[in-house]
Amino acid sequence: MSFINYASREINCKIVYYGPGLCGKTTNLQFVYQKTAPEAKGKMISLATETERTLFFDFLPLALGEIRGFKTRFHLYTVPGQVFYDASRKLILKGVDGVVFVADSQEERMDANMESVENLRINLIEQGYDLDKMPYVIQYNKRDLPNVVSIEELRRELNPTGVPEFEACATTGEGVFETLKAVAKLILFDLKKGK
Amino acid sequence: MANPQLVMYDEEFKQINVVLEKLLREANAKVIFLVDKNGQLITGCGETERFDTTSLASLTAGNIAATGGLAKLIGEKEFSILFHEGEKDNLHISIVAGRVILVVLFDTRSSLGLVRLRVKKASDELGSIFEKLMQKSEEKEKSGESEFPFAEITDDDIDNLFS
Ligand SMILES: Nc1nc2c(ncn2[C@@H]2O[C@H](COP(=O)(O)OP(=O)(O)OP(=O)(O)O)[C@@H](O)[C@H]2O)c(=O)[nH]1
Ligand SMILES: [Mg+2]
């Protein structure tokens, strides 16, 4: 949950990228990191296995600028998508302000997507959050691949409530900033309402 | 929401920094950080510029979260103190007031015993400051008097952040 410091005039918000294994969460953060000016970003930390699968989390701090005299920082985290890392996923969700669900558009990953959304919902409830009442956007990633499911079907299966959704190719960066911006906007508007 | 939002005001921020400065001196420590359990740095003192404080805060919180998970698995509520020993520098990490993390980095000029002792005293002081802080932000929220800076925020403000 956001941390507002009136003494140093800062607001920090936590964004978590969630989704099945290999859907492209880490790739999203890597692209944001590459394209952000040095003065606006901190070091990207990846706690990963030797085969570059996320083991605990990736972390990328962004300090994009000021709003109304307050430094606005976003802390981006990814969870490990592999099913057996569920205990770690729960830990990363603590104190989350907004969630990006990264779906893998490939036909053969549909079941994994659906399982992961369900897992997200359950893990949030455990922390006392309701996915339907928090800043939440969906990204349909890997749109560049040949064997992708149609957007209509993805929407039907993964986005029944009609939250903001984006097509993306995280490797080229298409849709990556659009997704981030959308969730940041929802978080800041939530703060405006007084949470 | 699960936890009340953490808010920091000038008055308490100053009090906290006074306690940390004192701890730094009395424990003969090199640097001290106070981190929110969610991984956000609250404040620090000592040789802070030598460290990547943002990364440090995030990893500390991850560390506390992971050991907290371990504690639950074996039927403990949490491990309230962690100690990491290095060749030169050591880290003493403890949970204060149930929700913030106090990180003390020290070398051979100090000792674990001394740090432990001083941290204990400082924790009590910090605990009461945080209690006041929570009360204050609750009261402000109830009275609707939250001087929230974003009340007037617009679409353009947010677009500008990403330009
Ligand atoms: N073709 C294509 N490949 C992608 C895209 N996004 C990610 N990838 C590739 O998919 C693989 C896995 O990406 P990661 O970002 O590591 O996946 P992850 O979601 O972090 O996976 P875990 O850490 O295991 O949860 C990598 O080889 C990426 O290059 C995309 O949009 N298109
Ligand atoms: Mg990953």
Contact A93, A119 (CB under 8 A): no
pLDDT tens across the length of chain A (195 residues): 678 888 888 899 999 999 999 999 999 999 999 999 999 999 999 998 888 999 999 999 999 888 888 899 999 999 999 998 999 999 999 999 999 999 999 999 999 999 999 999 999 999 999 999 999 999 999 999 999 999 999 999 999 999 999 999 999 999 999 999 999 999 998 887 764
Angstrom distance (rounded) from CA B43 to CA B61 = 14
Angstrom distance (rounded) from CA A126 to CA B78 = 18
Mean pLDDT of B23-30: 97
Homologous superfamily of the A3-192 domain (CATH): P-loop containing nucleotide triphosphate hydrolases (3.40.50.300)
Min Cα separation A141/chain B (Å) = 21
Q: Which pair of structure tokens corresponds to residue A172?
A: 């080229």
Are β-strands A10-18 and A98-104 bridged in parallel, bridged antiparallel, or unpaired?
parallel
Angstrom distance (rounded) from CA A102 to CA A28 = 9
3-state SS string for A148-182: ECCHHHHHHHHCCCCCCEEECECCCCECHHHHHHH
pLDDT at residue B111, rounded to an integer: 96
A80 lines ligand 1 (CB under 6 A): yes
Ligand at minimal distance from the CA of A166 is: 1
Domain ranges of chain B: 28-134
Q: What is the mean pLDDT of chain B?
A: 89
Ligand 2 centroid, distance to A185 Cα (angstroms): 24
Neighbouring C-beta atoms of residue B149, cutoff 10 Å: 17
pLDDT band at B64 (very low <50, low <70, confident <90, very high): very high
Which residues are A45's β-sheet partners? A59
Angstrom distance (rounded) from CA A5 to CA A89 = 27
Question: Each residue of B109-163: pLDDT tens digit?
Answer: 999 999 999 999 999 999 999 999 988 888 877 776 656 667 777 888 888 887 7
- Cβ-defined contact of A188 to B153 (cutoff 8 Å): yes
pLDDT at residue A189, rounded to an integer: 87
> Is the pLDDT score of B74 beyond 80?
yes
Rounded to a whole number of angstroms, the distance between the first and last alpha carbons of chain B is 32
Q: What are phi and psi of A17, to 5 degrees?
A: -90, 120
- ipTM at complex level: 0.83
pLDDT band at B1 (very low <50, low <70, confident <90, very high): very low
Angstrom distance (rounded) from CA A115 to CA A112 = 5
Nearby residues of B6 by Cβ (< 8 Å), 6 or more positions away: A1, A3, A4, B36, B38, B40, B99
Ligand 2 centroid, distance to A79 Cα (angstroms): 7
pLDDT at residue A195, rounded to an integer: 47
Contact A12, A73 (CB under 8 A): yes
Nearby residues of B142 by Cβ (< 8 Å), 6 or more positions away: none
Closest by CA to A62, choosing from B46, B162, B156, B45, is B162
A124 sits in which H/E element? helix A110-126
Angstrom distance (rounded) from CA A108 to CA B135 = 52
pLDDT at residue B99, rounded to an integer: 83
pLDDT at residue A181, rounded to an integer: 94
> Is the pLDDT score of B54 beyond 80?
yes
- Checking B141-145 for CB contacts under 8 A at 24+ apart, the result is B141/A194
Q: What CATH architecture does domain B28-134 belong to?
A: 2-Layer Sandwich (3.30)
pLDDT at residue B38, rounded to an integer: 86
Which residues does chain A have within 8 Å of residue B7's beta carbon, measured at their own beta carbons? 3-6
A13 sits in which H/E element? strand A10-18
Mean pLDDT of B90-101: 93
Domain ranges of chain A: 3-192
Q: Which pair of structure tokens corresponds to residue A190?
A: 């939530």
pLDDT at residue A194, rounded to an integer: 66
> Is the pLDDT score of B78 beyond 60?
yes
Mean pLDDT of B96-113: 94
- Residue whose Cα lies nearest atom 30 of ligand 1: it is A142
Angstrom distance (rounded) from CA B17 to CA B32 = 10
Contact A47, A54 (CB under 8 A): yes
Record the pTM. 0.92
pLDDT at residue B2, rounded to an integer: 41
Strands (E), B62-136: 81-85, 90-96, 100-106
